Amino acid sequence: MTNSMLRKMRPTFIYALLGIIFMLAAPSVLQLFTIINLTTAIALSVLALSLALIWGYGGILCFGQVAFFGLGAYVYTISAINFGGSTWAILVAIIVTSAFASALGYFIFYGRVSDVYLGVITLTVTLIFFSLIRRTSGPEYKIGNALLGGFNGVSSPPINLPWNSASFLFPEQVFYVAMAALIICYVFVGWLVNTKFGRVCVAIRENELRAELLGYDIRAYKLGIFTIGAGIAAVGGVLFCNGVGRITPDIFNLYNAALTIIWVIVGGRGTLIGPIGATFALFYVTSALGGQSVFNNNLVLGIILIIFVLLVPKGVAPTIIGWASARQKKSQRRVRRRRRAEGTR
Amino acid sequence: MDLIVAVLFQLIYVISNLALISLGLAIIFGMMRVINLAHGEFLMLGGYTVVVATNAGINIWISMLILAPLIVGVIGVVVERLLIRWLYGRMVDTLLATWGLSLLLVGIVTSLFGASTGTTVSPPLGVLRIGEYSASGYEFFLIIVTILLLFGVWLTLRFTKLGLLARGTMQNAEMASALGVSTSNIYMITFGLGAAVSGLAGGLLAPITGVLPTIGATYIAKAFITVISGGAAILAGTTAGSILLGGINGIFSFIAGSTFGEIALLLAAIILLRLMPKGITGRFFRKSL
């Protein structure tokens, strides 16, 4: 790592450090129930992070990021049941999901499908997963020893210590694993967007034609970032089915697909911490809404999405950063003016 | 022989069903190049209109053929004025706003009618006999309506003043506007018409599928791929997309069951888009409507 990259990554390290402090402090402060809930929120924020990468930095409008999340969860569950342990299952989940994403991405990016189409195609893939897996309720739908279970889903075996399938992790330990995975993914993505690869992806987001005329194969770059994003989403999926204890086809429904988009819009495209923060915030809003029946979740999310698209299209984090830097500039200018005035006196 | 006729009938039904649920989306997509993600909810609203109106004692034909398109069409116009028109030229934001609208409509209907409705209407027509096989008379009726609807849209686009203005706006909105066409009005009217056609389709399908606030999700995947594979030409695109994808879906469903039918449909659409990124009408029938 060069010095300039370290400097650019300073905020990333600060947030990661805060995350580590939170990880160490939370179990001794919070109740077990909250910790289990937090594990789910962490898993979802890994999903948000993956979309923040490919949409916010790669400019790829993927409406079906939750498909990779759900696929990762399903592959993990099925292979953990078959292997009788989670070590290889986690790897298989990430590899299979990335492979699926790169196959889908090949058709999309090498067909030069434009962004509006891309969103709709990825959404369609998600919905097809939803309707396909719902139908797999009979005993004939099984992969190895794992029944797919249709509408009811499959219960996921918990993560165990590496190569020791007898020692399952307790919910509190799963929380540590989840938080560590989130921090690692966050630092990884923060590093990735500052590498040459990441900067080319941002260039492509800004202007595809120019990037291509400069000699970059935009199809390959897009496919690359899309595949990496899917792999990160799969990590989230593995954590999610561990937090919840089972995986059902409902993960692929329209509501969850919309939710993923909303996290990134509310948090802000082009930042990483924004979508993660928005995930935690909205997770608590929706769980609070679940306790009452006046306002339905769909209603509230719909209004949030419309309001943000119309009024705060940049999202919360970039808007705040914008204000902050505008104020900073203003005060700098004021200081400079004052100095100049003092100098002339 | 009877088997062949029965299978063919089923195939044609699958195709026309696809065309029926996609046409409203195709009208809006053809005009504005924007996929209306609230399309499924327009279908859902059409279905609810029929169920509510029929339960209130209104004749089922009136509520299906007149009330459903009328009410959903009005909703479409209101949506266009309040939401969509602020976002012209911002495609991604339009997509996102219609998605927000979709969630909002699901939320409103769930709050009003509950998450599941027990009340349904039954298909009004009896059974049709093909030799020793039987087919639903209502499915036959739907095929006829779909054909009439496609024909009606063609007549409107081809022979009316509104159709001419709409085609002009579609080809070159700036030029049309420079020649004195109020493109804003044209967009409003076409959005309303697209919504009305979606409402009609939803109303017609309500007796078969029943209604739920989230039923839109079961339609939209198919409607999206049909319209995208078809491309920007409203009629030729919808027809070509439905025939190709519906044909593939029908044949694979017949051979290997409906689950594989859907997989085949999706795979065919993805491969098609690799070969023709702008849809079928992006390469063939370019001059068509």
> Taking CB atoms and an 8 Å limit, are B92 and A61 in contact across chains?
yes
Residue A154 corresponds to which tokens in the numbers above? 């499959």
Residue A234 burial (C-beta neighbours within 10 Å; 0-12, 13-18, 19+):
buried
Confidence of residue B137 (pLDDT cuts 50, 70, 90): confident
- Chain A to chain B Cβ contacts (< 8 Å): 137
Residue B42 has what pLDDT?
95
Average pLDDT taken over every residue of chain A: 88
In chain A, residues with a C-beta closer than 8 Å to the C-beta of B86 are 310
In chain A, residues with a C-beta closer than 8 Å to the C-beta of B275 are 111
Range of the domain at A52: 14-314
For residues A216, A219, A220, A225, the Cα torsion angle rounded to the nearest 10 degrees is 110
Q: Which residues touch A340 (CB under 8 Å, ≥6 apart)?
A: none
Rounded alpha-carbon distances, angstroms, from residue B66 to B89, B196, B199, B213: 33, 10, 10, 21
Q: Are residues A197 and A327 in the same domain?
A: no
Q: Are residues A334 and A292 in the same domain?
A: no
- DSSP string spanning B63-121? IIIIIHHHHHHHHHHHHHHHTGGGGTT-HHHHHHHHHHHHHHHHHHHHHHH-SS-----
pLDDT over 80 at A242, yes or no = yes
Q: Rounded to whole angstroms, how far apart are CA atoms A8 and B179?
A: 53
In this complex, which of B33, B86, B217 lies closest to A253 when CB atoms are compared? B217
Assigned domain for A8 exists: no
Q: Are residues A225 and A337 in the same domain?
A: no
Residue of B nearest to A62 (CA): B92
| pLDDT, tens digit, 9 for 90 and up, residues B181-194 | 888 899 999 999 99
pLDDT over 90 at A324, yes or no = no
| pLDDT, tens digit, 9 for 90 and up, residues A122-180 | 998 898 888 888 888 777 778 877 788 878 888 888 888 777 767 778 888 889 999 99
Nearest residue to A225 (alpha-carbon basis) of A209, A204, A256, A240:
A204
In this complex, which of A110, A120, A313 lies closest to B224 when CB atoms are compared? A120
Residue A322 has what pLDDT?
82
Confidence of residue A78 (pLDDT cuts 50, 70, 90): very high
CB-based contact A47:A65 (threshold 8 Å): yes
- A131-150 residues touching B, CB cutoff 8 A: 131-132, 135
pLDDT over 90 at B256, yes or no = no
CB-based contact A154:A146 (threshold 8 Å): yes
Q: Phi/psi of residue B130, each to 5°?
A: -120, 95
CA distance A288 to chain B (A): 16
Residue B231 corresponds to which tokens in the numbers above? 């491309």
Neighbours of B80 (CB within 10 A): 21
Q: Are residues A324 and A243 in the same domain?
A: no
Predicted ipTM of the assembly: 0.85
Structural domains of chain A, count: 2
pLDDT over 90 at A54, yes or no = yes
Query: What is the average per-residue pLDDT within A50-65?
Result: 93
pLDDT over 80 at B122, yes or no = no
Query: What is the average per-residue pLDDT within B58-62?
Result: 87
Residue of A nearest to B106 (CA): A298
Q: Which residue has the higher pLDDT, B131 or B27?
A: B27
Neighbours of B118 (CB within 10 A): 6
CA distance B225 to chain A (A): 7
Q: Are residues A218 and A333 in the same domain?
A: no
Neighbours of A337 (CB within 10 A): 10
Determine which helix (DSSP H) or strand (DSSP E) holds B134, and give its type and residue range: strand B133-136
Assigned domain for A9 exists: no
Confidence of residue A293 (pLDDT cuts 50, 70, 90): low
In this complex, which of A116, A128, A302 lies closest to B103 when CB atoms are compared? A302
Residue A197 has what pLDDT?
95
For residue A152, which amino acid is it? Answer: N
> Taking CB atoms and an 8 Å limit, are A111 and B274 in contact across chains?
yes
Q: Are residues A342 and A212 in the same domain?
A: no
Confidence of residue A292 (pLDDT cuts 50, 70, 90): low
Residue B119 has what pLDDT?
65
Q: Rounded to whole angstroms, how far apart are CA atoms B258 and B244?
A: 16
pLDDT over 90 at B101, yes or no = yes
> Taking CB atoms and an 8 Å limit, are B111 and A115 in contact across chains?
no
- Length of chain B in residues, anyone? 289
In this complex, which of B104, B217, B262 lies closest to A306 when CB atoms are compared? B104
> Taking CB atoms and an 8 Å limit, are B259 and A135 in contact across chains?
yes
Confidence of residue A344 (pLDDT cuts 50, 70, 90): low
> Taking CB atoms and an 8 Å limit, are B92 and A115 in contact across chains?
yes
To probe the interface with A, which of B96, B272, B274 has the most A CB atoms within 10 Å? B96
Q: Are residues A82 and A45 in the same domain?
A: yes
Assigned domain for A268 exists: yes
Give the 3-state secondary structure of residue A274.
helix
Which CATH number does B2-283 carry? 1.10.3470
To probe the interface with B, which of A120, A263, A294 has the most B CB atoms within 10 Å? A120
Q: Are residues A310 and A216 in the same domain?
A: yes
Q: Which residues touch A248 (CB under 8 Å, ≥6 apart)?
A: A151, A152, A153
Nearest residue to B237 (alpha-carbon basis) of B10, B29, B11, B17:
B29
Report the range of poorest mean pLDDT among A24-33, A36-45, B186-195: A24-33
Assigned domain for A36 exists: yes
Q: Are residues A310 and A322 in the same domain?
A: no
Residue A338 has what pLDDT?
80
Nearest residue to B283 (alpha-carbon basis) of B245, B234, B229:
B229
Nearest residue to B227 (alpha-carbon basis) of B172, B269, B168, B166:
B269
CB-based contact B68:B50 (threshold 8 Å): yes
- For chain B, say whether A61 makes contact (Cβ under 8 Å): yes
- A246-275 residues touching B, CB cutoff 8 A: 253-255, 258, 261, 265
Residue B264 corresponds to which tokens in the numbers above? 């085949």
CA distance A68 to chain B (A): 17
In this complex, which of B91, B107, B274 lies closest to A110 when CB atoms are compared? B274
Q: Rounded to whole angstroms, how far apart are CA atoms A239 and A291?
A: 25
CB-based contact B77:B175 (threshold 8 Å): no
Residue B44 corresponds to which tokens in the numbers above? 């859902």
Nearest residue to A266 (alpha-carbon basis) of A307, A315, A220:
A315
Q: Are residues A159 and A282 in the same domain?
A: yes
Query: What is the average per-residue pLDDT within A256-270?
Result: 91
Residue B275 burial (C-beta neighbours within 10 Å; 0-12, 13-18, 19+):
exposed
Q: Cα angle at B98 between B96 and B100, to 5 degrees? A: 70
In chain B, residues with a C-beta closer than 8 Å to the C-beta of A251 are none
Assigned domain for A3 exists: no
Neighbours of A140 (CB within 10 A): 8
> Taking CB atoms and an 8 Å limit, are B266 and A124 in contact across chains?
yes
Residue of A nearest to B274 (CA): A111
Residue A1 has what pLDDT?
60
Residue of B nearest to A308 (CA): B97
- For chain B, say whether A220 makes contact (Cβ under 8 Å): no
pLDDT over 80 at B135, yes or no = no
Q: H/E/C letters for each residue in A139-200? A: CCCEECCEECCHHHCEECCCCEECCEEEEECCHHHHHHHHHHHHHHHHHHHHHHCCCHHHHH
To probe the interface with B, which of A309, A310, A311, A312 has the most B CB atoms within 10 Å? A309
Q: Are residues A155 and A268 in the same domain?
A: yes
CA distance B123 to chain A (A): 25
pLDDT over 60 at A345, yes or no = no
Share of chain A above pLDDT 90, in %: 49
Q: Which residue has the higher pLDDT, A295 or A103?
A: A103
Assigned domain for A2 exists: no
Residue of A nearest to B213 (CA): A298
Q: Are residues A84 and A211 in the same domain?
A: yes
For residue A97, which amino acid is it? Answer: T
Q: Phi/psi of residue B129, each to 5°?
A: -100, 130
CB-based contact B45:B265 (threshold 8 Å): no
CA atoms lying within 13 Å on the CB side of residue A14: 6
- For chain B, say whether A164 makes contact (Cβ under 8 Å): no
